[in-house]
Structure formats: C-alpha cells, structure tokens
Amino acid sequence: MKPFSLWTRREWARRLFYCGMLRCAGLLVPAPLRTEWGREWHSELWHVRLACAPLGAASWQGEREVFAFCLGAFQDALCLRRASLHPRPAFMAMDGTARQCILVLVGVLAASYAIALLLPGVRAERSLGPRKVTPGLVMIEDAAASDDAYPTISARQFGAWTARKQRYFDGFAFYRVRQEAVETELAADRGVDRRTWKVAQASPNLFALLGLPVRFADAATENGGMPEVVLSETIWKRQFGADPHVAGTVMRLGTCIVRVAGVAPDGSLDLPGRVDAWVLRPVAAMDSGTPGYVVGHLTAMGRAEMWAPRVHITANMPEEAEDDLLGVSLEEWGPTPVAFYLFALGLALLALPAITSVSLGESSLNAHRTSWSRRLHRWSFLGVKIALLLPIAYLVSLDLAYGFTSLGRERAAYIQLASTFAMTLFGMRWVLKDQRQRCPVCRRRVTHPAHVGQASRTFLDWNGTEMMCMGGHTLLHVPSLPTSWFSSQRWLYLDTSWNFLFAEPTRPTP
C-alpha cells in the first residue's frame, strides 16, 4: 500500500465513500456491538480493497467487488438488529410448534374481541341483540304518520281504548315527551343546578308493561304524595355521578316538585323520544290534546295475528267511525348477526371440499402404527384450532360490518355475510392444510421443503416435495402429480438409524 501522502484525490474519495457505507450500515447495529462490528468490517475492507482494487490499479470490476462487499455490511447489520429485537431462545424454541399456533390464534381472537369492544357500531349492535323486554310489545301510531319518531296518539284516544274491552291487547301504556327545566340541589355549598331535560309524562304502568326493571325503586317507598320520576341511566351517571342513593331525591321539574323513584336501564329498549327522565302520573291528569306515544301488549290471540313487524290496526271509537292505526313490533324481526354468521358458516362448510381436500393425509410409507394418545392429541389440536377460528371469524365479521356506523343495517348484513363466508372458508382451508403439515409425533410443522425427483420421470419414480420434522421424527412426501401408486401425501417415520442426519440427538417426543 502506498503511504497516505501519495494517495490521489480519487483514491481518497473512494475510501471515504466505502467508509461512509460502512458507517451508515453501522447505524443499524445495536449500539453496544457497534464499535466491535465497525472495527472488523473496516479491517476486512482494507484487505478486500488490497485484493480487489489496489491503489493505483483501480478497475471497474475491482470497485464493483468492493462495493458488493460493503453492501453485505448492511445485511450483516440487519441480522444483528433482528437478533437484538427478537431474543432467540423464547421465539426459536416455539417456532412451528402447536403451542405457537394456538398462542397466535388466541392473540388474534383477543385482538378482534378488543376491537369489537372499542368500535361503537359493534357495541351498539351487540347491545341491541339480546333485548330483555316482554314479548308481544307493539308501538301504536297513526297509520298516516310518515315517521315513527313523531308522536301521533292523543291522551283522549288512549283513554277511549283503555276504557273498552280489548281482544288483541291486554295492556296499554302512554307517554309523551317535552323539554322541561330541571332544578336539582347540589352539595351544600354549591347551590342549585338548573338544566333542561327531555321529560316524558308516562302512565304509571309503563315500566311494568315493558318489563324493564327500575333500579333502586325499593329505596323510595315513601313518596309523600309527590309525583315520581324515573331517571334514565345516562342522566343518572352524568348528573348524579351514578350515586346509588339517588332514590328519594327531591327535585323541581317544570312547575312540579317530584321525587326520584329509581333509574331505568339504557339500551335495553329503543323507544322513540330519547327521554332523560320519566314522570309517572295518571293519564287523566295529562293534557288530553297533546299527542304522545302508545305501547300496547298483545294477547296470545293478538300475537297470532302479528305476522309481520308492522301490521294495520283498526280501532273503533265511541263517537267516531274508526281509527286507522299501525302496530310496530318492538321485538327483533329478521335475522340477527348470529343468524347471518351461522348461515355463512354453513355455506362455507359446503363449499370447502371444492377448494381443498378434506383428508388429513395420515397414511405412512412404512408400517408404523401411531398410538391412541398421539392420535387423540392430534385430533384435539385440530379441534382447538377450529374452536378458535370460528369465534375469530364471527368477531372480525362484526368488526368489518358494524364498525362503520355510516353503513346501513342492510349493507352491514351483506358485509357480514360475505366476510364470514370468506374467513370461514379460507380459515378452514388453512386449518386442514396446516394439520396435514404437522408431524404426527410432535405436531410441529414440517419445514425445509426439497424437491425430489424429476417431472419427466413421473411414471418411473415419484417426484414431489419432501419436508422434514425439525425434531427428526418424520419426513413428509407430497407428490407433485398424484398417480395411482402415489395419490396423496405420505409420512415416513424415522427410526434411530436416521439420527446421524441431525446435529443433535432427536428431540424427545411430547
């Protein structure tokens, strides 16, 4: 090598360029190893340059070799980085094992459940699902009404129906909603809180008819003749800080002094009006002209006549001819997300044989008989995989379909149907394929695929892919072209004579 003083400007530039490459690669190396790593690569670079592109005799080929050498430093640095990010023993020991597969599936299940809990659309759909209301409830409204959200029945009409004997209904409840000023007493030194709530004036039997339990109702037995108010759960939490001793609290509602009788649960029934509080009082005491909402409970005969979610009702009035009304069921009509899921699952199972073999490919090349316990473990593993896959498909389909609240229920149902079908179909295909590639002895995935034989000699000898169990228990032979003498995959169970192939003694079987 020439002394530094004799180096040309181009030689300096080349040296700086290669050293720069190594320094850049060195940034990828974990800091504690960087100095040692850099020292070795710079030392090797010196020797590589000496051999490939000596000073004063630079050639394009030589420079290319030095450049390729320096590029290798990036690969080396990345390997070190990866090794530092994934500590080897814990990960490598589980690589390809049945336990790793189960853990991954459990992780996906937990993630999809967590997403379902976080997405408001999915939460709302799940809360709507199992409605805890009395069966046979209908919302009665004027047949000419264009929107279910607007009240159409007056207290006078309601009074007339309840006075008559009914064949199809055994109970009615009435309520109407209006904005009212509310004054509640705050803590001793904080004065009075004034707000405006949406308050419903409701007949006293409303909650009994709906079958909704009013919480803390037992605590307010003595009302002192004051009207009772039932708070919505939202108001109870927001205004009263979810105080469990709220029952019995006296407050001013409009011009009346009322007493809190309890708290109605939210989300259990989607009644129109979005009410903050319910004042329970006789319908006779309400203004007879203002329209409200009527909920009716059907008798057995009425339920038999309710063949659709919306039915026409004709009510005979004393002085007028008749009222043309509409009964809208408060129960769930149409398929639920679970029904969609089960339907799509059934379709996917029917379609499965069309895209993959349903055989588990357990035949062996040599006369080896697998013990019952190993077979049981293998089947249990398959069962656990399927048992984890199915709820994953359900939750992910809910996330996809109902995660975006802007989509309508009908569109969401289609998305759920399609996503469930795709996930269960391809999920089951993966489960079967994975099972076929699991060593029957240790249930570890076979690896290191190697092509054996020649396609041109198919009719003289088999050709296909050979895979090996890392534990040294088995070899898996999968034919490229199924023939009459080798139609499906076969396992070759390795005895002790194969041990020399492995650098360490065969792994003990589980």
By CB under 8 A, name the binding residues for another protein: 1, 39-44, 46-48, 50-51, 68-69, 71-76, 79-80, 83, 88-89, 92-93, 95, 470-472, 500-505, 507
Nearer to another protein by C-beta: 97 or 437? Answer: 97
User: By C-beta, is 96 or 136 nearer to another protein?
Assistant: 96
DSSP 85: H
Residue 162 per-residue DSSP state: H
Instruction: Give the N- to C-terminal CA distance of the chain in Å, as an integer.
Output: 61
What CA–CA distance (Å, rounded) separates 312 from 315? 10
Q: In whole angstroms, how close is the CB of 472 to another protein at the nearest point?
A: 7
Closest separation between CB of residue 476 and another protein, Å? 16
Q: Give which of 492, 510, 451, 464 is closest to 501, Cα–Cα.
A: 492
Pair of tokens at residue 381:
């593993």
Q: CB of 107: closest distance to another protein in angstroms?
A: 22
**Using alpha carbons only, what angle is made at residue 241 by residues 237 and 242, rounded to the nearest 5 degrees?**
60
Question: Residue ranges of the alpha helices (H) in 27-180?
Answer: 31-52, 60-85, 88-94, 98-118, 120-128, 155-163
Q: Which is nearer to another protein, 221 or 497 (CB)?
A: 497
326 or 468, CB closer to another protein?
A: 468
Q: Considering the complex, state which of residue 28 and residue 229 has its C-beta at the smaller distance from another protein.
A: 28
The CB-of-471 to another protein minimum distance in angstroms stands at 7
CA 8, CA 404: separation in Å to the nearest integer?
66
d(CA 110, CA 108): 5
How far apart are CB 507 and another protein at their closest, in Å? 7
In the complex, the smallest distance separating the C-beta of residue 120 from another protein, rounded to whole angstroms, is 45
* Identity at 209, one-letter amino acid code: L
- Closest approach of Cβ 75 to another protein, in Å? 3
User: How big is the CA angle at 287 (ends 284 and 150), to the nearest 5 degrees?
Assistant: 110
Taking the complex as a whole, how short is the minimal distance between the CB of residue 92 and another protein, in angstroms?
A: 4
CA diameter of the chain: 121
The closest of 254, 231, 276 to 182, measured between CA atoms, is 254
Cβ nearer to another protein, comparing 7 with 502 = 502
CB 337 within 8 A of CB 125: yes
Q: Of the two residues 147 and 504, which places its CB atom closer to another protein in the complex?
A: 504
Cα angle for residues 236, 238, 243 (degrees, 5° grid): 45
Q: Are 295 and 148 in contact (CB under 8 A)?
A: no
Least distance from C-beta 40 to another protein, angstroms?
Answer: 5
Helices 9-26 and 31-52: crossing angle in degrees, nearest 10, is 150
- Looking at the Cβ atoms of 281 and 507, the one nearer to another protein is 507
CA distance 131 to 475: 55
Closer residue to another protein in complex, CB, 73/275 = 73
